[in-house]
Chains A and B, each alone.
Chain A
Amino acid sequence: MRIRVDPDKCQGHARCVGIAPELFEVDDYGLSSVTVDPVPEGLEAKARLAVANCPEYAVEVIEE
C-alpha cells in the first residue's frame, strides 16, 4: 500500500499525524508529508484511518 499527501489540498489540520505519527510528519507551517513508503506491514489500517479523517481530502491512497 502506498499513500501520499496532496500539498495543494493540505491545510495543516494535523489529523493524519495525530492518528499515525509513524507515517506522517507535519512541518512548522502545517504541511504534512508521508515519511515511509510504502506503508509498512501492519500499519495499513492506520493509513486508511488517516485517509478517512483528513478534512481536506489531502491524504490519498496511490492506486497501483
Chain B
Amino acid sequence: MTTRPVADWASDFDVLDPAYVERPFSIWADLRERCPIAHTDRRAPTWMPTRYEDVTAMAHDVKHFSSQRIAVIPLQVNEGNETGQVGEDGPSLEYGLPPISADPPLHTWTRRLLLPWFSHRKVAEYTPFTRELCQRLLDGLAGSDEADAAADYAQQIPVRVIAHILGVPLEMADTFTGWVREVLEFADDIERREHGILSIVEFLSSEMQGRREHPGEDLLSVLLQTEVDGAVLDDAVVLGMAVLLLIAGIDTTWSAIGSSIWHLATHPDDRDRLVQEPELMTLAVEELLRAYSPVTMARMVTEDLEYKGCPMHFEDKVLMNFPAANRDPEFFEDPDTVHLDRENNRHVAFGSGIHRCAGSNLARMELRVALEEWLARIPSFSLVEGTTVKWAGGQVRGPRTLRVRLR
C-alpha cells in the first residue's frame, strides 16, 4: 500500500509511511523537540504524544482517553460495502474485545478472569513447553548456513504457546499467524483485514461450540463454565476475550523476539557479551523491550478538552506511543543506545496503568527463552550481507524478513 509522502511530521504524520516503519527514532526525536504532541488528519483526526510524561499521563487518565477505540489505523468501512460484522476498530462483537477495548467496569472484571492464566507463577508452567519448542525449531536449522530468523524462528514461537494455552490445535499455527497478520499488519487493506477478523471469529466460535459439548481444562473451556454474579458468562464476552488473546499475543511477541535478534546480529559486541555473561539476561531482556518496543495503542477522546494547548475533540484518536516514550531523553539516559545492563529502566513497552499487558509475564518469558536457546546454539551470527530487512509497523513494529548467517 502506498501512502502520500509526509512533508511535515508535526501536522500531517503517517505511521504507515515507509520511513517511519523502518526507523521512527529520529522522527520522534525531532517531534519531542518541536511539537511533542503531533497531529494528523489522515484516515482520522489523530494526536501522537512522543514524550514519556505525556504518554503515561494519558494512559492513566482513562476517563478522558477511553479504550473503546484502540486501533491505530481505523478501518475504512466503505458505505454500501458494510457487512455489519466488522466495524471501524475490529469485529463488531457485542462486548468488543475485553479487557483491551473496555473501560471500567467491564474492563475490571474481564481482566481479573484472565490474569491468573498469565500470572508470574503460572507462566513458569509454560516454560518447559516453550523451551522444547525453541529447541525443536533450532534442530530444524541445524546444518544450514543461513536462515530467516523472523520467519523460521521468531514467528513460530508465540503462536504455538498461545494455541497450547487456549487449547486449540497446534497444527493450525501458520493459519493463525496469517489471520493475525491480516488484522494487524495490512491495516489499510480493508478486504484482508476483514477476512482476518472474520476467520478468527468464525474459528473460535466453532471451537467454543465444541467445548460446550466436551469441556477440557484449557482456558476456553474454563471461561465457558465461569460464573460471574451467579450467571455463566455471556458467549459474546468469552468470544471477545478469546479473539483478543489470539490477536494480542502473536504479532507482538514475535516482533519483540525478531527485533532482539536483529539487534544482536547487528551489534556483535552486545551479542558476545550476552553469550559470555548470561546473568545479564534479566536486565538485557528489559533493555531490548525498551529500545524496540513493538506495540503502539490508541485511545478515543471522550469529550472536547485541551491537553497542553492541544485542542482535542470528542472521538479524536490519541496514539499511546509507548515505543517513543521509551526513547525519551528526558527519561532515559542515552536513549538511542542499547545498554544491556541499563539499571534505571521504567520502560512502558507493556503499557502503563490499568491496561498493563495482561500477557507481559508470558511475553517476557518467551523472549528470554527464545534468546537463551538461540544463543546457546548459534552464538555467532550476523546479517546476511546485501539483504534488506523487511519491517512491519503501525500498531506493531518488528522485522518480518531477517536473513542471518548462522556461523
Question: Which A residues are within 8 Å of any B CB, using their own CB?
Answer: 11-15, 17-19, 26-30, 49, 52-57
Q: Is the CB of B345 within 8 A of A13?
A: no
Having A52-B343, A52-B345, A52-B346, one finds 12 other A-B pairs with CB under 8 Å, namely A13-B356, A19-B282, A26-B119, A28-B115, A28-B122, A29-B112, A29-B119, A52-B344, A53-B344, A53-B346, A54-B346, A55-B348
Given contacts A52-B344, A53-B344, A55-B347, contact A18 B119 (CB under 8 A): no
Contact of B364 among A18, A19, A57 (CB under 8 A): A18
Interface residue count on the B side (C-beta < 8 Å): 24
Chain A contacts of B115 at CB under 8 A? 12, 28-30
- Chain B residue numbers with a CB within 8 Å of A17 are 120
Min distance, Cβ B378 to any Cβ of chain A, angstroms: 25
Is A55 in contact with B282, judged by CB distance below 8 angstroms?
no
Q: How far is the CA of A14 from the CA of B364 in the complex (A)?
A: 10
A residues in contact with B345, CB < 8 Å: 52-53
Are B356 and A28 in contact (CB-based, < 8 A)? Answer: no
- Out of B56, B343, B350, name the residue touching A13 (CB < 8 Å): B350
Judge whether B354 is part of the interface by a CB distance below 8 angstroms: yes
Q: In the assembly, what is the distance between CA of A52 and CA of B346, in Å?
A: 7
**A49 vs B115: C-alpha distance when bound (angstroms):** 25
B 313-348 binary contact with A (CB < 8 Å = 1; else 0) = 000000000000000000000000000000111111
Closest A residue to B115 using CB positions: A29
Q: B380 on the interface (CB 8 Å rule)?
A: no
Of the listed residues B120, B344, B354, the one surrounded by the most CB atoms of chain A closer than 10 A to its CB is B120
Contact between chains at A11 and B344 (CB < 8 Å): no
Q: B121: which A residues are within 8 A, CB to CB?
A: 28
Chain B's closest residue to A52 (CB) is B344
List the B side residues contacting A13 at CB < 8 Å.
350, 356, 360
A11 in contact with B119 (CB, 8 Å): no
Q: B11 at the A/B interface (Cβ < 8 Å)?
A: no
Given contacts A29-B115, A29-B116, A11 and B353 within 8 Å (CB-CB): yes
5 contacts between A and B (CB under 8 A): A11-B356, A18-B282, A18-B286, A28-B115, A30-B356
Are A53 and B286 in contact, CB atoms less than 8 angstroms apart? yes
Q: Which residue of A lies closest to B368 (CB)?
A: A18
Instruction: Identify which of residues 93-144 in chain B touch chain A, using a CB-to-CB cut-off of 8 Å.
Output: 112, 115-116, 119-122
Q: How far is the CB of A52 from chain B (nearest CB, A)?
A: 5
User: A27 → chain B, closest Cβ, in Å?
Assistant: 7
A residues near B56, Cβ cutoff 8 Å: 55
Per the bound structure, the CA–CA distance linking A27 and B115 in Å amounts to 10
Q: A12 to B344, Cβ gap below 8 A?
A: no
When the two chains form the complex, which single residue of A14, A49, A53 contacts B361, counting CB atoms closer than 8 Å? Answer: A14
Inter-subunit contact A11/B112 (CB<8 Å):
no
A30–B351 alpha-carbon span in the complex (Å): 14
Distance, CA A55 to CA B345, complexed state (A)? 8
How many Å lie between the Cα of A19 and that of B287 in the bound state?
13
Judge whether B92 is part of the interface by a CB distance below 8 angstroms: no
Chain B residue, CB-CB nearest to A53: B345
Residues B364 and A55 in contact, CB atoms below 8 Å apart: no
Write out the residue numbers on chain B whose beta carbons fall within 8 Å of the beta carbon of A28.
115-116, 119, 121-122
Please name all residues of chain A whose beta carbon is closer than 8 Å to the beta carbon of B112 when the two chains form the complex: 29
Q: How many angstroms between the C-alpha atoms of A53 and B285 in the bound complex? A: 13
* Distance, CA A30 to CA B364, complexed state (A): 15
Q: How far is the CB of B260 from chain A (nearest CB, A)?
A: 16
- Say how far B388's CB is from chain A's closest CB, in angstroms: 34
Q: Is B401 an interface residue (CB 8 A)?
A: no
